[in-house]
Amino acid sequence: MSTAAVIVAAGSGLRAGGEQPKQYQLIGGQPVLHWTLDAFAKHPGILHVLPVIGEGHEELFARTINGVVTLPPVTGGSTRQDSCRLGLEALEAIRPTQVLIHDAARPFAAAEFISHVIAALAYHDAVIPALPVADTLKHAPGGLIKTTVDRSAMYAAQTPQGFHFDKILAAHRRAFAEGAGNLTDDAAVAEFAGISVAVIAGRRENRKLTTAEDISEADRFLARQFSRELTDVVTGQGIDVHAFEPGDHVILCGVAIPHPARLKGHSDADAPMHALTDAILGAIGEGDIGTHFPPSEAKWKGAASRIFLEKAVHLVAQRGGRIAHADITILCEAPKIAPHIAAMKAVLAPLLGLPLKRIAIKATTTEGLGFTGRSEGLAAFATVTVRLPEP
Ligand code: MG
Q: How far is the CA of 65 from the centre of ligand 1 (A)?
A: 26
Q: How far is the CA of 331 from the centre of ligand 1 (A)?
A: 14
Q: How far is the CA of 128 from the centre of ligand 1 (A)?
A: 52
Burial of 170 (0-12, 13-18, 19+ CB in 10 A): middle
Q: How far is the CA of 265 from the centre of ligand 1 (A)?
A: 7
Q: How far, in Å, CA of 354 to CA of 101, rounded? A: 29
Q: How far, in Å, CA of 349 to CA of 355, rounded? A: 6
Q: How far is the CA of 138 from the centre of ligand 1 (A)?
A: 66
Identify the H or E element spanning 250: strand 249-252
Predicted local distance difference test score (pLDDT) of residue 54: 95
Q: How far is the CA of 318 from the centre of ligand 1 (A)?
A: 24
Q: How far is the CA of 303 from the centre of ligand 1 (A)?
A: 12
Predicted local distance difference test score (pLDDT) of residue 391: 82
**b/e map of 186-210 (b: 16 or more CB within 10 Å)?**
bbbbbeebebebebbebbeebbebe
**b/e map of 109-139 (b: 16 or more CB within 10 Å)?**
beeebbebbbebbeebbbbbbbbeeeeeeee
Q: How far is the CA of 323 from the centre of ligand 1 (A)?
A: 21
Q: How far is the CA of 232 from the centre of ligand 1 (A)?
A: 29
Q: How far, in Å, CA of 173 to CA of 85, rounded? A: 7
Q: How far, in Å, CA of 48 to CA of 94, rounded? A: 9
**Maximum Cα interatomic distance, the chain, rounded to a whole number of Å:** 83
Burial of 364 (0-12, 13-18, 19+ CB in 10 A): exposed
Q: How far is the CA of 286 from the centre of ligand 1 (A)?
A: 17
Residues 6+ apart with CB under 8 A from 322: 29, 226, 230, 316, 353, 386, 387
Q: How far is the CA of 252 from the centre of ligand 1 (A)?
A: 11
Q: How far is the CA of 381 from the centre of ligand 1 (A)?
A: 11
Q: How far, in Å, CA of 54 to CA of 80, rounded? A: 10
Q: How far is the CA of 48 from the centre of ligand 1 (A)?
A: 38
Q: How far is the CA of 192 from the centre of ligand 1 (A)?
A: 61
Q: How far is the CA of 368 from the centre of ligand 1 (A)?
A: 23
Q: How far is the CA of 235 from the centre of ligand 1 (A)?
A: 20
Predicted local distance difference test score (pLDDT) of residue 67: 79
Q: How far is the CA of 242 from the centre of ligand 1 (A)?
A: 6
Predicted local distance difference test score (pLDDT) of residue 16: 61
- Surrounding residues of ion ligand 1, Cβ less than 5 A: 240, 274
Q: How far is the CA of 266 from the centre of ligand 1 (A)?
A: 8
Instruction: Tell which residue, 200, 207, 192, has the closest CA to residue 121.
Output: 200
Spell out, as residue ranges, where the chain has pLDDT lower than 70. 13-18
Predicted local distance difference test score (pLDDT) of residue 13: 65
| Prediction pTM value | 0.79
User: What are the respective helix, strand and coil percentages of the chain, to the nearest 5?
Assistant: 35, 25, 40
Predicted local distance difference test score (pLDDT) of residue 14: 62
Q: How far is the CA of 277 from the centre of ligand 1 (A)?
A: 10
